[in-house]
Structure 1
Amino acid sequence: MADSGRVGYNRPRYFKEVNPMTVTVIRHKRRKRAAFFVTPDGIELRIPARLPNRVVETILSNHAGWIAERLAALPKRDVLPDDRLLLHGETFPLIKCDSETTFRFDGERFYCPLAWDESSLREAYVAWLRERALTYVTTRAPHYERMLGVKANRIRIGHQKTRWGSCSSTGTISINVRLMLAPKEVMDYVIAHEWAHLVHFDHSKAFWSTLASVYPDVTGAMAWLKQYGHTLQIKKTN
């Protein structure tokens, strides 16, 4: 992995902290062994579908110290105040007024109809972020395609729970819409990462070397996602 020795991305500018995260046990039919994963909702223990509960309890007990350390090390998830929304690591005022008929952003403020409830606002916000994300990715992609000498067959915007991006063997690249809440530099890292997979469809040394050649601060972006990725939630509270 390339090491630039620099972490130059700011903490998300959120406002109000919520309760600590928890551990969730999830059974998978195809999983062959238990493994812990840190997700936006806390720590998940993913286990084989038929693993006995007593074994699960033993695993949790044996890793209690590790779980406590990981949860304590993670920053508490933050929630936006009622009158602001997040975009590219910054918050912008949300104005609700009778004169508005739709959801929009003028570069400094978000606007929506006064009569909208939380559900209507959230739906419009997510749809707007998806549209903007697709525009952002398709605008940035040519830069990396020129540098790498490759081209994606298809670009899609997803809303994955644990993956920031993916590249299929057929050249379809998916980018998580939640990255629109992160600083642009972090979103650019994920874009560069997935396009580098069009050259090396693995995480070999050659892959990391190729990625570092088009995105120098790999370590900084990875560190930011590890520390703050779980806070990137598309959720509006009233």
Structure 2
Amino acid sequence: MRVTVIRNKRRKKAAFYVTPNGIELRIPARLSKRVIDRILEEHDTWIHEISQKLPRQTSVLDEGLVFHGKNYPTQIDDGSTLRFDGTSFWVPEAWDDATLWKQYEIWLRERALHYVIERAPIYEKILGVKAKKIRIGHQKTRWGSCSSNGTISINVRLMLAPKEMMDYVIAHEWVHLVHFDHSPSFWSTLQTIYPNTATAKDWLKRHGHTLQLKKTE
């Protein structure tokens, strides 16, 4: 099992801790790599014994990655970036789960922005409005937002849902450029440009909690 090394400027001595997520080696901030490697080598037998007793941690590599509502298997390769070939995600061999989650979100954000930029003109032409700025966020509770100055934000987690959910939220937020509220006029306009509004709202209400990405710094 991989040992997570955690540096802390207040710590005076190195020490191992067994946590629900595995084994941690907590060390003084300035401890050299040479010393860390020696500590790990000296405790190799103990680390192995403890690892055997801990419940196996499920890796994202075992679970696969989701894109537009479908789960795709992950494959390991010797590359340096996350790749998607339409049937599998290819992950660099050197990456751990934390790196993969971070790069996966970056990958999703890039594709989310591209998707929104591609779809928005459809609604802009119908409504006769244009967003001042488009951004991709990672909101906890909101799927999208439209500010008073015309900035529209779309939640990256929608890339985990079927495409229709992203289309609904895009339409929803662009209608806010015309009706900055949730008045009857707003819903009437939205229903006109996106007839499947009720279905999409119901899907997000029932399944939205499953669209989860680990927060990365």
Q: TM-score, normalised by structure 1?
A: 0.64
- For residues 211 and 189 of structure 1, the distance between their equivalents in structure 2, rounded to whole angstroms, comes to 9
Alignment correspondent of 2:208:
229
Whether contact under 8 Å (2:132, 2:149) holds in the other structure is: yes
Q: CA offsets per residue over residues 99-143 of structure 1, 9 Å max, x none?
A: 222111112211111121011101110000000000000000000
Contact 1:83 1:95 in 2 (8 A): no
Q: 1:171-182 alignment to 2 at 5 Å? A: 171-182=150-161
Question: Which residue pairs with 1:195 in the alignment?
Answer: 174
Alignment partner of 2:71 out of 83, 91, 108: 91
Contact kept, 8 Å, 2:76 with 2:93, in 1: the verdict is: yes
TM-score (norm 2): 0.70
* Higher RCO structure (Cα 8 Å, ≥6 apart): 1
Larger relative helix fraction = 2
Question: Are the structure 2 counterparts of residues 81 and 111 from structure 1 closer, same or farther at C-alpha, using a change threshold of 3 Å?
Answer: closer
Quote the residue 1:219 is aligned against. Answer: 198
State how 1:1-238 maps to structure 2 within 5 Å.
Answer: 82-97=62-77, 99-235=78-214
The percentage of counterpart residues that share the same residue type is 64
List per-residue Cα deviations over 1:178-221 (Å, max 9, x = no partner). 00000000110000000000010000000000001100011100
How far apart are the structure 2 equivalents of 1:129 and 1:113? 17
The 1:119/1:166 distance shift into structure 2, 3 A limit, reads same
Provide closer, same or farther for how the CA distance between residues 81 and 110 of structure 1 changes in structure 2, counting only shifts above 3 A.
Answer: closer
Question: Residue 169 of structure 2 aligns to a residue in which SS?
Answer: helix
**Is 2:61–2:74's contact at 8 Å kept on the other side of the alignment?**
no
Counterpart for residue 22 of structure 2: none
The root-mean-square deviation of aligned C-alpha atoms, in Å, is 1.6
Which residue of structure 1 lines up, in the alignment, with residue 40 of structure 2? none
Cα drift, residue 147 of structure 1: 1.0
1:136-193 alpha-carbon deviations (Å, 9 max, x no partner):
0000000010111110000000000000000000000000000000000011000000
Residue 108 of structure 2 aligns to a residue whose secondary structure is helix
Deviation of 1:80 after TM superposition, in Å, equals: 6.7
Tell me by how many angstroms 1:235 deviates. Answer: 4.0
Counterpart CA distance in 2 for 1:89 and 1:80 is 16
Secondary structure of 1:233's match?
coil
CA distance in 2, matches of 1:148, 1:93: 40
SS in 1 for 2:62: coil
Give per-residue Cα distances to partners, 1:16-54, cap 9 Å, x unaligned: xxxxxxxxxxxxxxxxxxxxxxxxxxxxxxxxxxxxxxx
Q: Which has the larger radius of gyration?
A: 2
SS state of the match for residue 170, structure 1? Answer: coil
Unaligned 5+ residue runs, structure 1? 1-78
CA distance in 1, matches of 2:179, 2:115: 24
**Contact 2:145–2:173, Cα closer than 8 Å, also in 1:** yes
